[in-house]
Amino acid sequence: MVVWSPIDSGGCYRRQCKSVSPIESAASTSRLQLCCLPKGFFELLCRKGAGTVPVGTVKQTAVDEILGQFSLYLQQERALASGTIANYLLDARKFLVHCFKTGPIDLCKLTVAQVIESVRHLAISISRKRAKVMTSALRAFLRYARYQDLIRSNLAAGVPAIADWSVASIPKGLPPEHVKRALAACDRNSVIGRRDYAILLLLARLGLRAGEVCALQLEDIDWDAGSLTVHGKGNYSAQLPLPTDVGKAIAAYLKHGRQRSLSRFLFLKTCAPVANLNSGTIGLIVNKALARAGVSRCRKGAHQLRHALATKMLRQGASLAEIGEILGHQRPQTTAIYAKVDIASLRMLALPWPGGTR
């Protein structure tokens, strides 16, 4: 049985189903084939991210060899998503560079004190949420090292936890008038403006994550049925009816904005080399749109529009279960944070102040 839940008064719905992310299957079509270029020029383009370095052209370091085996372990044994693997490899590289910056890499010499000191050093310049991802990556790497007998003790147990209490913060969503100003600030007569307008509408009307927008492919849009397939966390997919204004914005971008490319990703960069966007670029698009609209915010990134949609639904009478279904939350506890912004319901639960109105 499939259960559909309304997004808002406009009558949009989402359903959850299991599927495989299409990112890996389309990766080969999104890369440029540059093998025919001269070696020096080819390697320059590879360093800029325009191509893939052929095997044997670049000498691997000790860190590269360890991380290469760690990557295979995460793919084959842990079956993690490609984005998660990329984050784990980045954090593991920083950890190894910090621990062995003065000598050769010898994991057998690692101690719990070194692990704790590295976590403290790496967590200074990142947010609490990002620090939790970093500690998860280090635990996975140290378990892998113990599994491969590279270390003699279970150092993963020595990775300190990051203090980040559940439901401790309040979601900071944009007010509806700020969302409208950000959308109106897009120059829809330009190529970049058409693309950015379509992206902002997907974030504001459907509550997509930045990574979900990046993963959208041309095949995910069913124009006849008026639906959109969204690939979310954990290799889950969600089918959403495509609102009329969002569909028109995407169609305008495809007709008069999207670069000609073999890539099947929906949204592409406007400058060479033509490639799909990443989550950081989506956040930058949101920040620039808010800046053009004259909206000053302490919080940055695309999640502001996701929070704005959830807050709007709550004020229109949607339940937390319906909001969680729309946002693709797999646990009710994740959606519970929005109960804090339901001021009208919370006011009914408040007890009279014993001191009166003084």
Q: Partners of 240 in the beta sheet?
A: 228
> Strand pairing of 5-6 and 227-231?
unpaired
Counting Cβ atoms within 10 Å, is residue 294 exposed (0-12), middle (13-18) or buried (19+)? exposed
Give CA separation, 273 vs 30, 50, 180, 281, in Å.
10, 6, 32, 15
Give CA separation, 291 vs 36, 270, 348, in Å.
43, 20, 37
**109 is written with which tokens?**
């010499």
Q: Which of 178, 258, 312, 329 is catalytic?
A: 329
State yes or no: is 340 an active-site residue: no
Q: Which of 195, 306, 307, 312 is catalytic?
A: 306
Q: Which of 205, 258, 269, 303 is catalytic?
A: 303
State yes or no: is 233 an active-site residue: yes
**77 is written with which tokens?**
């044994």
Counting Cβ atoms within 10 Å, is residue 197 exposed (0-12), middle (13-18) or buried (19+)? buried
State yes or no: is 303 an active-site residue: yes
State yes or no: is 338 an active-site residue: yes
Q: Is the dihedral of CA 245, 312, 167, 19 positive or negative?
A: negative
Q: Which of 93, 139, 233, 264 is catalytic?
A: 233
Q: Which of 195, 209, 269, 312 is catalytic?
A: 209
State yes or no: is 306 an active-site residue: yes
d(CA 71, CA 79): 10
Q: Are 238 and 18 in contact (CB under 8 A)?
A: no
Residue 145 CB coordination number (10 Å) = 22
State yes or no: is 209 an active-site residue: yes
Catalytically active residues are 209, 233, 303, 306, 329, 338
